[in-house]
Every structure is written in C-alpha cells, then in structure tokens.
Structure 1
C-alpha cells in the first residue's frame, strides 16, 4: 500500500519536478541539460560494459567517492565505471576529477518511478552498484534486487534524527533497506541504528572521506595564494550555507572593531569566504559589500596554472576573498591558518571537516553537526577541532588561536595526525565488494565480479 501511494505521489509530482528543473536553471543552467537521462532516455550514451555503477548525488558525495572510484579503476581493469548524480554541481565535480578517464562515464540517475528505474537497469545492466551515504530510493533499490544487480549502500550514515524518521515507517523501511545486498556503515553508531531497523547485513568499514588525499598541486597553489595575502592572517569560512554568511560577516566586523588597537591582537586578518553552493556566489558577494567590506573574487585572480610565475597571483588586499570556484578546496585550506566549516551554525547538520584536517588546517565547528557527528567528536578529541557556540565565538576563537602560534602549530600537527589515523575505508569497502556472489575474492588477475 505504501509503495503504491509512493508511486502515485511521484507520478503526480513528476511534472512539478521537471518544472522545478527549469526554475532552478535560472541560476544554474546545468539543470536543463541531459533531462532525458532523468527520464531513463540515454540517447547516444554507450551501453556496452561491463559496468560498475557508483551513485554520488552531489559534490560532497562525488568527492568522497573519489578514492573508491580510483580503487575500482585499478582493481577491475576489465570494467567501466558508471558515475551517476542528481545535481549539476555533482556532475561538474565528477567531470573535473575524471573528465580525462576513458573508462568512466557520467549520467543523471532517473527519477524514482518503477519504469524509469527499469529502463536505467536494462540499458546499462551494471555488474554491481554502490550508492553513496544516504541516497536511498525505494524503487531503485527494489528494482536492482529484482534485476539481480548486487547493490551496496557504501559510506553509509544514519543520524539519530534520520533513524527516528525512518523508524516511523516500520516494516516498510526495514523491507526497503533489506533490498540492499549489504550496508557498509561509516561508524559503529551508524551500524547499530541500521541494525535496529532489522538489517542483518551491516558492516563497519569507516569513512571514505579519510582516504581523500589533497592533491600536491592543490596544496602548492594554496601556498602561492597564501603569499598573496602578505603578512595578514587568513581565516577561512568554508561550505557556508544561506543565513550563515550574514552572521559571520557581522561577527567579523565586531571582531575587527574590538581588535583595533589592542596589544597582541591579530592586525587586520583576511576572511576567505567559500559558500557551499556555486549558484549563491553573486548573492554572497553582494552580502559582503552591503556589510561594508571590500571584496575580491577568486575568479578575478586568473588561472592558477600560471601562478608559478613571479608576481602571481595578484595581491589580496580586500577584507574578504570570495572563493567563487569549484574543485579548489585543497587550495583554500592550504592558504588558510584556520578554517570554520559551515552548515553548523544553523541546524543544517554540518559539512565535512576531514578535508581541512588532511591539509593540516585546524578547524572550528558550530553546534549543529548531526550529519557528521562521529567525525566531529573524534576531531575534537584529537585536538584538531574546537566547537564554538555562535558566530561571535567563531571569530573570538580564531583570534585567540592566531595570537598563539605555538598552540596553532600544535593543532596543525594534530589535524594531520587525525586525518591519517582513520584511513583504510576504501580497502575495507573493496574487500566487501570482492565477497559478493561471483566476486573476485582476493584480487586475482581477471578482477571479475
């Protein structure tokens, strides 16, 4: 009954979903590209595999999938990788990472109606599928089981809040998750919540995001960008969400006013502001100006490929540098003395702090981190992260750390150690894939599934 109601609601919502794509395309044109793929029509996309399918809904999941995709390409040379998304920014991130990889193809996942899912599975006939983190669609999961496609929920997380919501559906939720061949959870807490739903096939494999290594080129460009700030301290606020930037800018103004003329205070620090969603870059730039700050944009500094030349990039003299680019987080973290991770000042669940730690950048985090609870608590316990209560606490804590170079250097070392300590999720995920029926077992010469 619930499945029939779900399908009816999807059918009624489909025209609205398509209109919403057109509406969102006003700010992000990518939403009206490849619409056929969302309806199970793949045009001239090649169907010849065999395919290993990875679904990463947007930017964060796509970046988290990178070490897994790299491992799949290495361990299964006879297979191609199908990387699916739901958002244009996720697809753009995948293209930046793998645009030159001939064995990887990207597509949008179809909407979750039975016949669209069947078209997708019949067209590609994947050998196995891996859905990243929380992306669970009932018809997709059921369709894979019916089609005989082993399907894993990898890097899986289920927060206490999401568990309570899911548990309300009782046996319907249990039946949906049982259609997975296996659930590979990030933490023991996630695994216990999945098991409480009645799932027997749950393993703890760790968080793939710990296996994300910042590129040497990104770190190098970050060091060059850092030189553009001169002697000024650089405080980054990254992955910020709507409503947070205004709070941070107001607190930044108060911090500057209180620090002016105070002995030992950090003189005129720079704020490196990186919004989470690219469609908001112009909006955030206007916010900075209205707050009374001068602003420069990363996009105005030119192509970073030429930054090895003397005098590049141009000096960053503005109060705020707006990080209006994609795929350069390693550069932004390497250019910063401290980083605040957004999505945590307001009850939005937080964002990934591991990437900052992997670049050796100490982290400040707000009170709302339910989507990344274990990683946040572990980082705090390791001395790599400080939790703050509000925007003023963000700025005052940053000022305290910047005025104490010994403690700041210690947190930098602890951030690197924390990121290094928890690696290995990719190998454990790959081992679980090898144990699927017909799998490769130990990595043999054929690497077949």
Structure 2
C-alpha cells in the first residue's frame, strides 16, 4: 500500500494540471473540479452511494438506481462519476432526483475529505473499479462495500496479477461481490476475493427496456429522413472514423441513398470528426445544429448527448465502435434490445461474454477489418430476411438474460435496512 500511495502522489501533479486545463475549457466543470480532491458541501441523511465511472457504467446502473429510489424514498442517493460525460448522463437520467459528485482521487486526504462530507451508509461500486485506498478507508470506517455488476476481462486479470498482494487486500474488503458471469467470478477468486462473498448475478446491462415514446420518436425521425436505408456507427474512436467513412463510400455504390449516423464516443472530438467528414467531400449535417436531413445529406453527425438509443431505434443496423481499434469495444445490448442487428470488430475484450452471446444467437457479426465490416453491413442493409432474423434474435437474447437486477437487489437489501455507520474515522 505504501508503494501504491507513493505512486499515486507522483501522478497527482499531472492529474491536477489536467483538471485545471479541463476547468478552463468547460464552464460547468470549472467550479467543481475540487470535488476530485474530496471537497464539496456536506450531504445529510447517510446517503446510499453508487459509483459509476462514466456513461456506460451509469447506463448499466440506471435500473438499480431507480430501484433504490423506489425502495428507499426517504434516503438520498449519491451518484459519483469520474468523467464529464458520466455527469451529463446522470443529469439526463435523474435530474435532481439524485445527488451527483465527482469521485475523489484514490489518495488518503481526498478519500477522507469525501467521506467526511458524504458519510454514506453503503458504497455500491459498479463494474471493475478496485481502488485500494478507498476500500481500506471504507473498511476502517465500517462502511459496507458492495461491488455490483463486476466484470473482469482476461486482460485485466493478467494486469492485476502483477500486484497480487495489493489486489488481494482490496478484494478482501467488499461484503458482496456480484459478478456478471462464472468466468468473472473465477478470476476474482483467483485474485484473492473470498469465495463465499462472490456471487454470480448476471449482467445488469441486459436490464433494458425502451423508454416511453422512444419508438414513436424514432419513427418520426425516420419519416423526416425519407425512405432510405440507415446505419449507425456508434461510439467510434480515433482511427475508426476513417474506416467507417470508407465503408460508407463503398456501400453507397450499392445503396445510393444510404444515410450514415456517425456518433463519436467523446464529445471533445465532435468538431474534429465533423471536419474530417467535410474534408472528404461528404455532405454532413450536425444534429446539434438542428438543420434538416435532406436527400443530399450523406452523414448525420450525432454530436448531442443522450440520443444514441434514439438513433439505434431509427436505424436498420449498427456498428459498435471501440472494436476496430484496441479499445475493447462498447456495449451492443442497447441496439440489440431495440431489434437492431450489430457489427463489431475484433477488439471486444471489455465485452467478451456479450460479444460471444451475440454471435451465438445470430444477433450480430464480428469482423476482422474494413472488408468484413462492408460485407456484414451489405448483408444487413440488402437482405430484409437476414435483418429480421438478427433483429428477433437480439431482442430474444436480451429478454433471456434479464434478471440480474432482481438478484442484485436481493443481495443488497440487508445493507439498506441496517443502521447507517457513523462513517467517522482516521
């Protein structure tokens, strides 16, 4: 732990410079960056604390957070994220129904200040957020730690094996570790998590249902676009847009009126991606500009927050980004829940189990490169029967694997009804 703290302190100056830079360029973040150091006003009422790093984790946590709001209406719910996009997602989903803070750095002072001000009754940490200093401090303060929806890829497992004592100590703290799959559970136990505390609950990302009015809004959008084939390139990363745009050009030879909805993963790249499309000679409309998508429009740039589900619902098929580059892919389940066939690249290690299930169900295709992407999209766009079969398979896959929320709630219930700890401590 001493070496870990020393390393964290070495990194801190660079992190502070980055925070300062981000605060200069984001008016909403500027008054709040000190929350990463544990500062912020006190929160009364011993809140239930849910930590979700960014957008994907926040979406996965949303059904659980809604359940907590229903089950414990008198207890405040605190949601932390580490990213601005995660904060925006919390605001969009819950408004003032929850309290949002940026999570503190995993340093003794920052963690202590955060806990002094929030004093949670339980800490619910989503997915693979293993923070040794935070866990040790929560244990000293007798705040129960509940790891929910935990996934641990083979890649992360090998990385954690390099620091076995530190990870084993951290994994000894949570009272419950709710793993997504048996493979995740096995890896967690191999790293030192007490076997009796590890439970397989399934993946809460399957707990999806279209919001009221979503399909109607998508139909209206599709009507406004005209009678033309549409595909979405969702959550793309640097190095993927070039491939996507080339594929679009090739596909236009077969489908001349084809529309691409291009949604970069990170908002700070919206402008650069828009320039890239225009420099390639394509007619592009930015969603944020509010202009119409005309017959001449080739690309709609999805440069708004919170509309990806709408774009999925209005599309014939979708490419899931972060998978043609070694990022690890993103979650295809939102598209599948809406009956949209998916295509993803070879790098899906962050969602390896979901990718396997998708392939096995015939709800999507994994490709190796640009040629494979073009071939898969051409099939889905040009073959209504193949598209229908994949659509039905995707919806059935999501329905079949639901239930993680109920199992998680059952494990969590004792911690919600027990007296809140004082949360005071060194």
TM-score, scaled to structure 1: 0.89
CA gap of 1:392–1:32, structure 2 versus 1, over 3 A, is farther
* Superposed displacement of residue 379, structure 1: 1.2
Match of 1:306 in 2: none
Match among 421, 434, 437 for residue 413 of structure 2: 434
CA gap of 1:145–1:371, structure 2 versus 1, over 3 A, is same
In 2, are the aligned partners of 1:339 and 1:363 still within 8 Å (CA)? yes
User: How far apart in 2 are the matches of 1:124 and 1:375?
Assistant: 35
TM-score, scaled to structure 2: 0.94
* Superposed displacement of residue 325, structure 1: 0.8
Match of 2:424 in 1: none
Match of 2:214 in 1: 218
Q: Say if 2:16 is the partner of 1:14.
A: no
Match among 39, 46, 49 for residue 37 of structure 2: 39
Match of 2:198 in 1: 202
* Superposed displacement of residue 381, structure 1: 0.9
* Superposed displacement of residue 429, structure 1: 0.8
Consecutive aligned runs of 4 or more in structure 1 exceeding 6 Å deviation: none
Name structure 1 gaps, 5 residues minimum: 260-264, 303-312, 441-449
User: How far apart in 1 are the matches of 2:20 and 2:96?
Assistant: 29
Q: Say if 2:243 is the partner of 1:247.
A: yes
User: How far apart in 2 are the matches of 1:269 and 1:82?
Assistant: 44
Q: Say if 2:49 is the partner of 1:70.
A: no
Match among 57, 77, 87 for residue 81 of structure 1: 77
User: How far apart in 1 are the matches of 2:31 and 2:360?
Assistant: 45
For residues 115-140 of structure 1, the C-alpha deviation after alignment (integer angstroms, 9 at most, x for no partner) is 22112122221111111111221111
For residues 168-213 of structure 1, the C-alpha deviation after alignment (integer angstroms, 9 at most, x for no partner) is 1122211111112221111111111101112121111111111132
Q: Say if 2:407 is the partner of 1:407.
A: no
User: How far apart in 2 are the matches of 1:33 and 1:353?
Assistant: 35
In 2, are the aligned partners of 1:96 and 1:327 still within 8 Å (CA)? yes
Match among 255, 263, 266 for residue 277 of structure 1: 266
* Superposed displacement of residue 268, structure 1: 2.9
Q: Helix, strand or coil for the counterpart of 1:34? A: helix
In 2, are the aligned partners of 1:349 and 1:371 still within 8 Å (CA)? yes
Equivalent pairs, count: 417
Aligned-residue Cα RMSD (Å) equals: 1.8
User: How far apart in 1 are the matches of 2:390 and 2:376?
Assistant: 13
CA gap of 1:314–1:342, structure 2 versus 1, over 3 A, is closer
In 2, are the aligned partners of 1:271 and 1:320 still within 8 Å (CA)? yes
Match among 328, 332, 349 for residue 328 of structure 2: 349
Match among 107, 130, 136 for residue 142 of structure 1: 136
In 2, are the aligned partners of 1:272 and 1:322 still within 8 Å (CA)? yes
User: How far apart in 1 are the matches of 2:22 and 2:272?
Assistant: 15
For residues 376-403 of structure 1, the C-alpha deviation after alignment (integer angstroms, 9 at most, x for no partner) is 1111111111111112321221112221
In 2, are the aligned partners of 1:334 and 1:359 still within 8 Å (CA)? yes
CA gap of 1:29–1:110, structure 2 versus 1, over 3 A, is same
Match of 1:56 in 2: 52
Match of 1:445 in 2: none
CA gap of 1:272–1:402, structure 2 versus 1, over 3 A, is same
Match among 282, 291, 298 for residue 293 of structure 1: 282
* Superposed displacement of residue 97, structure 1: 0.8
User: How far apart in 2 are the matches of 1:218 and 1:21?
Assistant: 36
User: How far apart in 2 are the matches of 1:33 and 1:17?
Assistant: 17
User: How far apart in 2 are the matches of 1:412 and 1:287?
Assistant: 32
